[in-house]
Amino acid sequence: MTARTLMIQGTASSAGKSIMVAALCRILKQDGYRVAPFKSQNMALNSFVTRGGGEIGRAQAVQAAAAGIEPSVEMNPVLLKPQADATSQVIVLGKAQSVADAADYYRDNHKLLPIIMHSLTKLRDQYDAVIIEGAGSPAEVNLMVRDIANMRIAELARAPVILVGDIDRGGVFASIVGTLQLLPMRQRNMIKGLVINKFRGDLSLLKPGLDFLEKRCRRPVLGVVPYIRDLAIAQEDSVYLDERTSRMREGFPDVCIIRLPHIANYDDFDPLETFCNVRYVASVEKLGDPDLVILPGTKSTMADVLFLNRSGLSARIIQMAEAGTPVFGMCGGYQMLGRKIYDPVQAESGITEADGLGLLDMETAFGPHKITAQVSARVDADSGLLMGMQGLDITGYEIHMGKCSKQPPHSVFTVTPPGNTSAGYRDGGISPTGRIFGSYIHGLFNNIEFTRRLVENLCSLRNLPPAEADALNQEKAYDDIASVFRQSLDMAKIYEIILGGWHGRRTV
């Protein structure tokens, strides 16, 4: 049986499409349906590696987890990862295909439609329902003719559309009405309902606005979703880092993550919030005196290490490290901890050489090939932040271009890819004191025993009281989000829209 479809589109980026798709996937799963997420084209720096080694948007991996299924490349057949020089790496069915600027990509992107529709068809053959996420806004008039992410996909999938507006940023009534007015009539008629997202305050005061929308747009408002603080599931857009407010809890370690211009996979550090106060900063002035500094992953290591050097952050981090402050680097951040970074083939940009922070005795060289793999590893190190952890098993994934051209003297992990019966290979590097280390492995902190022990060691090194973990249960987090949306939305009407398909009477 071919699955029913429903598409969630937004009046703008960060309107809440990804979270709503995750919530609906969970609700349908709770109600006994086999459901899968889908996003034809995603532009994001947060990504995930599937079991088969394919790279997809992190949001679709989260949505799949909410649906209780294994992520697959068909859930996000086209992923664009922006790079430093106004270009994007184009990833098709999980594999890096090319690097293109916007003009080149949009000239040829229609050639991707057969791949997109084959992926959607494959999902529809396997599930009862597919919840499709749009991208940005469907009313970008300059891009409509090149659209492969919004209304064209809805038409090809024969999917009814729910339009979501973000009231927290203001102008939600104008953005909803304007979106409808800018769409061609045939596409306008595919929008079957409206949702107001991120509302704070007294709902009764909003009612006149809801009445206006229903009268003006001749469509039902299907619900008003409250602003959800401290979302415990991964977010896709870096706008999330602007919106979030850290809970500063007395007695918890202060962890400072450098917000690089091209920061990627920042959800790697969400589990740390269970044990620590986590801050994101982009300047020396806001760095303060943290207990741990983290250099995160990045889509453009060369450009971001130059940012660190020019902003004064490199000099300050080096000064703090020499005074005993622990420093950790993940993936691109790990590369920055070394002495030199080389890009002779200009895989990332026109920059061929840059100085790292020199906190680890290593060098990195970029090549033309990208490594993407899920991995298992065992801790080799036994000092500083990793004291007492030797032999501990962890899992994660690698997703990077560069390799160490000069290996650090002391490794952090021995890695074995799934299905590999060889002895494995060394990953990461750690200083003699154990206070500075880095690794290519994403998802480290999802290994809760590893994270718990690391934070215990951090507290010991920084003379802090033992950290007490806040409760974290990912399955409960999905259920909690689903509960908020179930209470806020007219689910009976949404089921009616899904079952009714995209056909319906002309509404305007």
Residues acting as catalytic residues: 331, 442
Residue 309 backbone phi and psi in degrees, to 5 = -65, -40
User: Nearest 10 degrees: CA dihedral of 96, 102, 107, 110?
Assistant: 50
101 three-state secondary structure? strand
How far from the centroid of its chain's Cα atoms is residue 191's Cα? 27
Element (H, E) at 284: none
What's the per-residue H, E or C state across 410-423? CCCEEEECCCCCCC
Quick one: which of 178, 175, 173 has its CA closest to 208? 173
Say if CB 87 and CB 100 are below 8 A apart.
yes
Structure tokens at 304: 């971001």
CA atoms lying within 13 Å on the CB side of residue 258: 31
What's the per-residue H, E or C state across 298-358? ECCHHHHHHHHHHHCHHHHHHHHHHCCCCEEEECHHHHHCCCEEECCCCCCCCCCEEECCC
Please give the C-alpha separations between residue 258 and each of 289, 327, 463, in angstroms, as whole numbers: 13, 11, 23
In sequence order, the β-bridge partners of residue 4 are: 129
Which residues make Cβ contacts (< 8 Å) with residue 454, sequence separation at least 6? Answer: 385, 386, 389
The Cα 283–Cα 342 span in angstroms is 25
Structure tokens at 269: 């550090």
Which residues make Cβ contacts (< 8 Å) with residue 280, sequence separation at least 6? Answer: 241, 256, 257, 258, 259, 266
Residue 58 backbone phi and psi in degrees, to 5 = -60, -35
**Scanning the structure block, which residue is given the tokens 């993550």?**
257
Residue 91: left (phi > 0), alpha (psi -120 to 50), or beta?
A: beta
End-to-end CA distance of the chain: 33
Beta-strand pair 327-330/292-295: parallel
Quick one: which of 261, 295, 230 has its CA closest to 86? 261
Element (H, E) at 137: none
- Give the torsion sign (CA, 477, 20, 63, 301): negative
Say if CB 20 and CB 195 are below 8 A apart.
yes
In sequence order, the β-bridge partners of residue 427 are: 413
At 454, which amino acid appears?
L
